[in-house]
Amino acid sequence: MTLLDKDSVPLDDAALERHIERAVRIDRPRGPLLELAYIAVKRVFTPVLLGTEELPGEPCLFVGNHSLFATDGAILMPLMWHEQRRFLRGLGDRFLWNPLSERLLLSQGAVLGHPRVCSALMEHGADLMVFPGGAHEATKTQAQRYTLQWKERYGFIRLAARHGYPIVPMAIVGPDEFYDHAIEGRDLPDTPLWQWLERAGVVGDNTRRDLLPPLPLGALKSPLPKPQKCYIQFGEAVRPTLNRGKLPGQARLRSYREAIAGQIEHMLTNLFAMRDEDRNQQGWVRRVLTL
C-alpha cells in the first residue's frame, strides 16, 4: 500500500473529490465479501492477534511492515472488523484504482492512498492502515522478507501530527511466506518469459523494472498461497504532535519514524520466536502445504 508523500501520483481534482465523497460515506463493510474473507482467513491462516488490549479507544493510524503482493491487508481487514469491530481503511496505491475496481475496493475498506483522502477520513474519525514501504515492499525479493523499505517517507507522520492521530505500530508475520520466489522480479527481464510478455504487449519500455514482482510459487508449487499461520502484534502508540501549531521538523520526523520502525522490528523478532515454537504443534497436512 501507499506512500502518502509528495511523490504521490497526480490525480484530477474532480475525480479525487468524488472519491473522497464516496469514501467518507462508507463507515462499515458493505456486502458479504468481508464475512466470507474472515471465514477463509480463520480456517486457512489461523491468525493470532496480540497487543489488542493496549489499542487506543480513539481512531488510529495503523502502520506496519508490508508483505509480498500486499496480502497482509486481506488478512487484517476482515480480522480487525470481526474481532475488534474496527473498520480499517487501507490506503492503496494508485495503480489499484479504476472505474471498475473502485466500488468493490471502497465497500471493503480500501481507499486511494492520497494525502487529501487521508485527511478527509481523519476528519471523519476513521481508523486507517498504511504501509509506508508501498509497492517496493510488496514486490521485494525473498532475501528482503520482513524488512522495512520506507526510504525518506514521512508523510504519514505529518498527517498524524496535523490531525492529532496516534500511530499504532504493527508487526505481521506469515504473509511474506505465502509464496516462494521462482524468479525474482529484478531477474525477469533476462528470461524468455519477459520476451514473450514484450511480444504480447504486457510490458514495454515504460515498465517500472524496480517494481517488478517475483514469479511466485505457492502451496505444492501452485498459484494458491501456502497456509502459513499468521501472527499480528500491535505496539505502543506513538503520538506525533505539533510544535506551536507547526508540523514537526526533519529531526523530529526522523525520531518518530525510528521509534515506530524500532517497535515493528522488535515485535517481528518476538513473533519469529513464537512461530518457531508453534511449528511443532502443526498438523502434517499444514506442514506439507507450507514446505
Tens of pLDDT, residue by residue over 220-230, are 999 999 999 99
Give me the mean pLDDT over the 187-200 stretch.
88
Domain co-membership, 186 together with 242:
no
Per the domain annotation, does 4 fall within a domain? no
Taking residues 2-29, report their average pLDDT: 74
pTM over 0.85: yes
Classify residue 5: in a domain, yes or no: no
Residue 246 resides in a domain: yes
User: How far is CA 131 from each of CA 196, 201, 244, rounded to the nearest angstrom?
Assistant: 33, 31, 29
Q: Are 226 and 216 in contact (CB under 8 A)?
A: no
**202 and 230 both lie in a single domain:** no
Instruction: Answer yes or no: is pLDDT of 29 > 90.
Output: no
Same domain, 208 and 267: no
Domain CATH number, residue 51: 3.40.1130
87 is written with which cell numbers? 473498520
* Residues 54, 118 share a domain: yes
Cell numbers 476482515 correspond to: 78
pLDDT of residue 9: 44
Percent of the chain with pLDDT over 70: 95
Question: Where a domain ends, among 170, 195, 217?
Answer: 217
Q: Which has the closest alpha carbon to 135: 189, 182, 190, 94?
A: 94
| C-alpha to C-alpha distance for 86 and 257, rounded to whole angstroms | 24
- 32-62: per-residue pLDDT in tens? 888 899 999 999 999 999 999 989 999 999 9
Statement to judge: residues 131 and 270 lie in one domain: yes
What average pLDDT does the segment 170-192 reach? 94
39 and 59, same structural domain? Answer: yes
- Over the chain, what is the mean pLDDT? 90
151 found inside a domain: yes
Residues 6+ apart with CB under 8 A from 139: 68, 185, 211, 212, 213, 214
7 located within any domain: no
Of 190, 217, 244, the one marking the end of a domain is 217
Q: Are residues 98 and 191 in the same domain?
A: no
Q: Which of 217, 235, 268 is the last residue of a domain?
A: 217
- Residue 20 predicted with pLDDT over 80: yes
Statement to judge: residues 81 and 41 lie in one domain: yes
> Is the separation of the CB atoms in 221 and 227 below 8 Å?
no
6 domain-assigned: no
11 pLDDT band, cuts 50/70/90, is low
| Same domain, yes or no: 212 and 229 | no
User: H-helix or E-strand containing 50?
Assistant: strand 48-50
Decide the pairing of beta strands 231-234 and 167-173: antiparallel
Determine, yes or no, domain membership for 257: yes
Within-domain flag for 95: yes
Q: In terms of domains, do 107 and 241 share one?
A: yes
Which structural domain, as residue segments, surrounds residue 102?
A: 13-179+225-289
Q: 204 and 104: one domain?
A: no
- 36 lies in the same domain as 158: yes
Q: Is the pLDDT of residue 8 over 70?
A: no
Among residues 225, 223, 255, which one has the least CA distance to residue 240?
Answer: 255
